[in-house]
Amino acid sequence: MATYEYRCPRDGDFEVRFPIGAAAARVTCSACGADAARVFSAPLLTRTPQSLAAAIDRTERSAETPEVVTSVPPRPRPARRRQASPALARLPRP
Ligand SMILES: [Zn+2]
């Protein structure tokens, strides 16, 4: 059995299951009884944004093999003092 898509002019799209290759070109809508034509749509070809796909992949990967560290990360360096302008360095200190 396969799922085929039909479009009723009044009720919109709906799906009907038929044996493969036995789908009728038109069926009657179960809601209103009108004639509904078969609709061909691309199956499973939606394009997922790359950033979303990467996030989904990372989530699935972390469930099986979470990323772990093997050593303690280095201590963060203390923030360096901003280097004053060379002209200011030549000024007399109080
Ligand atoms: Zn209908």
Q: What is the pLDDT of residue 65?
A: 83
Interval between CA 23 and ligand 1 midpoint (Å): 18
Distance 28 CA to ligand 1 centre (A): 8
Question: How far is ligand 1, taken at its centre, from the CA of residue 68, in Å?
Answer: 56
Interval 45-83: pLDDT, tens: 778 888 999 999 989 988 888 878 888 888 888 776 666
- Residue 9 scores a pLDDT above 80: yes
For ligand 1, the distance from its centroid to the CA atom of residue 39, given in whole angstroms, is 14
Ligand 1 geometric centre to CA of 26 (Å): 12
Spell out the residues 6+ positions from residue 20 whose beta carbon is closer than 8 angstroms to its own.
1, 2
Domains of the chain: 2-39 (2.20.28)
At 34 the pLDDT is: 93
pLDDT score for 93:
82
Cα(52)–Cα(62) distance, rounded to whole angstroms?
A: 15
93: which 2 tokens?
Answer: 């200190």
pLDDT, tens digit (0-9, with 9 covering 90-100), for 21-43: 888 999 999 899 999 999 998 77
